[in-house]
Chain A
Amino acid sequence: AQRVTQPEKLLSVFKGAPVELKCNYSYSGSPELFWYVQYSRQRLQLLLRHISRESIKGFTADLNKGETSFHLKKPFAQEEDSAMYYCALSGGGSYIPTFGRGTSLIVHP
Protein backbone atom coordinates (compact mmCIF):
# COMPACT_ATOMS: atom_id res chain seq x y z
CA ALA A 1 0.00 0.00 0.00
CA GLN A 2 1.12 3.53 -0.66
CA ARG A 3 0.70 6.31 1.86
CA VAL A 4 1.56 9.99 1.98
CA THR A 5 1.86 11.89 5.25
CA GLN A 6 1.90 15.65 5.57
CA PRO A 7 2.28 16.25 9.30
CA GLU A 8 1.39 19.95 9.30
CA LYS A 9 -2.16 21.12 8.60
CA LEU A 10 -1.08 24.75 8.73
CA LEU A 11 2.20 26.55 8.30
CA SER A 12 2.34 30.26 8.98
CA VAL A 13 5.41 32.36 8.13
CA PHE A 14 6.35 35.94 7.40
CA LYS A 15 7.35 37.21 3.99
CA GLY A 16 11.03 36.59 3.34
CA ALA A 17 11.30 33.69 5.76
CA PRO A 18 12.33 30.22 4.59
CA VAL A 19 9.60 27.66 4.11
CA GLU A 20 9.68 23.89 4.35
CA LEU A 21 6.54 21.84 3.85
CA LYS A 22 7.07 18.29 4.99
CA CYS A 23 6.05 15.17 3.14
CA ASN A 24 6.84 11.59 4.08
CA TYR A 25 5.78 8.56 2.13
CA SER A 26 5.42 4.84 2.51
CA TYR A 27 5.92 2.72 -0.57
CA SER A 28 7.86 -0.45 -1.16
CA GLY A 29 8.99 0.26 -4.72
CA SER A 30 10.38 3.27 -6.53
CA PRO A 31 7.81 6.04 -6.22
CA GLU A 32 7.02 8.99 -8.40
CA LEU A 33 6.48 12.01 -6.16
CA PHE A 34 4.76 15.30 -6.84
CA TRP A 35 3.69 18.53 -5.25
CA TYR A 36 0.36 20.06 -6.24
CA VAL A 37 -0.81 23.53 -5.26
CA GLN A 38 -4.25 25.04 -4.94
CA TYR A 39 -4.39 28.84 -4.82
CA SER A 40 -7.52 30.53 -3.57
CA ARG A 41 -10.39 30.12 -6.04
CA GLN A 42 -8.21 28.25 -8.52
CA ARG A 43 -8.06 24.62 -9.49
CA LEU A 44 -5.41 22.24 -8.27
CA GLN A 45 -2.34 22.28 -10.44
CA LEU A 46 0.98 20.51 -10.56
CA LEU A 47 3.79 22.48 -8.96
CA LEU A 48 6.67 20.10 -9.48
CA ARG A 49 7.59 16.42 -9.74
CA HIS A 50 10.74 14.84 -8.47
CA ILE A 51 11.71 13.21 -11.75
CA SER A 52 12.03 16.62 -13.42
CA ARG A 53 14.41 17.95 -10.77
CA GLU A 54 13.23 21.46 -11.54
CA SER A 55 12.58 24.61 -9.58
CA ILE A 56 9.17 26.19 -10.01
CA LYS A 57 8.35 29.60 -8.54
CA GLY A 58 11.46 29.25 -6.38
CA PHE A 59 10.32 25.96 -4.86
CA THR A 60 12.45 22.83 -4.87
CA ALA A 61 11.94 19.34 -3.50
CA ASP A 62 14.47 16.58 -3.15
CA LEU A 63 13.57 12.94 -2.91
CA ASN A 64 15.33 11.34 0.05
CA LYS A 65 14.81 7.60 -0.24
CA GLY A 66 16.62 6.88 3.02
CA GLU A 67 14.25 9.07 5.00
CA THR A 68 11.32 8.43 2.61
CA SER A 69 10.73 12.15 2.38
CA PHE A 70 9.99 14.71 -0.32
CA HIS A 71 9.93 18.03 1.50
CA LEU A 72 9.09 21.20 -0.41
CA LYS A 73 11.38 24.15 0.23
CA LYS A 74 11.66 27.79 -0.66
CA PRO A 75 14.37 30.06 0.75
CA PHE A 76 12.30 33.27 0.81
CA ALA A 77 8.51 33.02 1.03
CA GLN A 78 6.30 35.51 -0.80
CA GLU A 79 2.73 36.48 -0.02
CA GLU A 80 1.57 34.98 -3.30
CA ASP A 81 2.81 31.58 -2.10
CA SER A 82 -0.14 31.40 0.28
CA ALA A 83 -2.08 28.34 -0.82
CA MET A 84 -2.90 24.74 -0.02
CA TYR A 85 -0.11 22.34 -0.92
CA TYR A 86 -0.57 18.63 -1.51
CA CYS A 87 2.12 16.02 -1.73
CA ALA A 88 1.25 13.05 -3.95
CA LEU A 89 2.74 9.68 -4.74
CA SER A 90 2.25 7.51 -7.78
CA GLY A 91 3.59 4.01 -7.93
CA GLY A 92 3.01 0.45 -8.93
CA GLY A 93 1.84 -0.75 -12.28
CA SER A 94 -1.36 1.30 -12.35
CA TYR A 95 0.15 4.67 -11.34
CA ILE A 96 -2.87 5.87 -9.39
CA PRO A 97 -1.90 9.02 -7.47
CA THR A 98 -2.37 9.06 -3.71
CA PHE A 99 -2.53 12.46 -2.04
CA GLY A 100 -1.59 13.60 1.43
CA ARG A 101 -3.97 15.59 3.59
CA GLY A 102 -2.50 18.90 2.53
CA THR A 103 -0.73 21.78 4.27
CA SER A 104 -2.14 25.27 4.22
CA LEU A 105 0.66 27.80 3.86
CA ILE A 106 -0.01 31.35 4.96
CA VAL A 107 2.60 33.97 4.27
CA HIS A 108 2.09 37.17 6.24
CA PRO A 109 3.28 40.54 4.95
Chain B
Amino acid sequence: DADVTQTPRNRITKTGKRIMLECSQTKGHDRMYWYRQDPGLGLRLIYYSFDVKDINKGEISDGYSVSRQAQAKFSLSLESAIPNQTALYFCATSDPTAWELFFGEGSRLTVL
Protein backbone atom coordinates (compact mmCIF):
# COMPACT_ATOMS: atom_id res chain seq x y z
CA ASP B 1 0.00 0.00 0.00
CA ALA B 2 2.82 2.36 -0.97
CA ASP B 3 1.78 5.99 -1.17
CA VAL B 4 4.15 6.80 -4.04
CA THR B 5 4.70 4.08 -6.62
CA GLN B 6 7.23 4.10 -9.41
CA THR B 7 7.38 1.80 -12.43
CA PRO B 8 9.52 0.22 -13.65
CA ARG B 9 11.85 -0.35 -10.73
CA ASN B 10 14.69 -1.38 -12.99
CA ARG B 11 15.24 -0.87 -16.68
CA ILE B 12 18.12 -1.53 -19.03
CA THR B 13 17.93 0.06 -22.42
CA LYS B 14 20.11 1.05 -25.35
CA THR B 15 21.30 4.43 -26.52
CA GLY B 16 18.71 6.20 -28.61
CA LYS B 17 15.67 4.40 -27.22
CA ARG B 18 12.67 6.22 -25.79
CA ILE B 19 12.00 5.48 -22.15
CA MET B 20 9.12 6.43 -19.86
CA LEU B 21 9.23 6.24 -16.08
CA GLU B 22 5.88 6.43 -14.37
CA CYS B 23 4.88 7.68 -10.95
CA SER B 24 1.54 7.46 -9.23
CA GLN B 25 0.50 8.62 -5.77
CA THR B 26 -2.34 8.16 -3.35
CA LYS B 27 -1.32 10.99 -1.03
CA GLY B 28 -3.72 13.45 -2.64
CA HIS B 29 -0.87 15.95 -3.09
CA ASP B 30 -0.89 18.53 -5.82
CA ARG B 31 2.89 18.82 -6.01
CA MET B 32 4.99 16.18 -7.68
CA TYR B 33 8.71 16.10 -8.45
CA TRP B 34 11.26 14.09 -10.39
CA TYR B 35 14.79 13.91 -9.01
CA ARG B 36 17.85 12.14 -10.28
CA GLN B 37 20.37 10.59 -7.87
CA ASP B 38 23.99 10.06 -8.86
CA PRO B 39 26.81 8.99 -6.53
CA GLY B 40 28.64 12.04 -5.28
CA LEU B 41 26.14 14.42 -6.82
CA GLY B 42 23.20 13.82 -4.54
CA LEU B 43 19.65 14.54 -5.65
CA ARG B 44 19.11 16.94 -8.51
CA LEU B 45 15.74 18.24 -9.60
CA ILE B 46 14.67 17.44 -13.15
CA TYR B 47 11.08 18.69 -13.30
CA TYR B 48 8.36 19.61 -10.86
CA SER B 49 4.65 20.19 -11.10
CA PHE B 50 2.45 22.28 -8.81
CA ASP B 51 -0.74 20.89 -10.32
CA VAL B 52 -1.97 19.32 -13.53
CA LYS B 53 -1.60 22.53 -15.53
CA ASP B 54 1.60 23.82 -13.95
CA ILE B 55 4.85 22.10 -14.93
CA ASN B 56 8.29 23.58 -14.45
CA LYS B 57 11.85 22.75 -15.35
CA GLY B 58 14.35 21.98 -12.65
CA GLU B 59 18.10 22.38 -12.74
CA ILE B 60 18.81 19.48 -15.12
CA SER B 61 15.82 19.24 -17.47
CA ASP B 62 17.77 18.94 -20.75
CA GLY B 63 17.11 15.59 -22.40
CA TYR B 64 13.97 14.96 -20.35
CA SER B 65 10.28 15.71 -20.68
CA VAL B 66 7.33 15.14 -18.37
CA SER B 67 3.59 14.67 -18.49
CA ARG B 68 1.12 15.26 -15.66
CA GLN B 69 -1.78 13.08 -16.77
CA ALA B 70 -3.78 13.58 -13.59
CA GLN B 71 -3.27 14.81 -10.07
CA ALA B 72 -2.06 11.36 -9.14
CA LYS B 73 0.22 10.65 -12.10
CA PHE B 74 3.47 12.23 -13.24
CA SER B 75 5.59 10.59 -15.94
CA LEU B 76 9.18 11.26 -16.91
CA SER B 77 10.33 10.57 -20.47
CA LEU B 78 13.72 10.29 -22.07
CA GLU B 79 13.09 10.83 -25.78
CA SER B 80 16.46 9.46 -26.86
CA ALA B 81 18.35 7.90 -23.99
CA ILE B 82 22.11 8.37 -23.67
CA PRO B 83 24.58 6.61 -21.35
CA ASN B 84 25.08 9.58 -19.02
CA GLN B 85 21.39 9.35 -18.14
CA THR B 86 22.18 6.14 -16.32
CA ALA B 87 21.04 6.91 -12.77
CA LEU B 88 18.52 6.26 -10.03
CA TYR B 89 15.38 8.33 -10.56
CA PHE B 90 13.06 9.33 -7.75
CA CYS B 91 9.54 10.64 -7.84
CA ALA B 92 8.29 12.60 -4.84
CA THR B 93 5.14 14.41 -3.73
CA SER B 94 4.36 17.10 -1.20
CA ASP B 95 1.73 19.53 -0.10
CA PRO B 96 2.28 23.22 -0.95
CA THR B 97 4.46 23.87 2.07
CA ALA B 98 6.91 21.17 0.95
CA TRP B 99 7.69 20.60 4.62
CA GLU B 100 7.91 16.91 3.87
CA LEU B 101 8.55 15.15 0.59
CA PHE B 102 7.27 11.62 0.18
CA PHE B 103 9.45 9.57 -2.11
CA GLY B 104 8.91 6.55 -4.28
CA GLU B 105 11.30 3.62 -4.12
CA GLY B 106 13.21 4.76 -7.17
CA SER B 107 13.63 3.58 -10.74
CA ARG B 108 17.11 2.42 -11.68
CA LEU B 109 17.82 3.13 -15.33
CA THR B 110 20.84 1.82 -17.20
CA VAL B 111 21.53 3.11 -20.70
CA LEU B 112 24.03 1.01 -22.65
User: Could you tell me which A residues sit within 8 Å of B by CB distance?
Assistant: 6, 9, 32, 34, 36, 43-46, 49, 51, 86, 90, 94-102
Contact = CB atoms under 8 A, between A and B. Distances in A.
Interface residues of B, number: 25
Contact of B97 (A36, A45, A95): A95
Interface in B23-60: 33, 35, 40-45, 48, 50, 58
B42 A86 contact: yes
* Highest count of chain B CB atoms <10 Å: which of A9, A43, A99: A43
A73 to B, nearest CB: 21
Interface of B: 4, 33, 35, 40-45, 48, 50, 58, 90, 92, 94, 96-101, 103-106
Given A51-B99, A95-B97, A98-B45, A9 B104 contact: no
Contacts of A99: 35, 42-44
A86 B35 CA distance: 13
B11 to A, nearest CB: 18
Contacts of B96: 95
B99 A9 contact: no
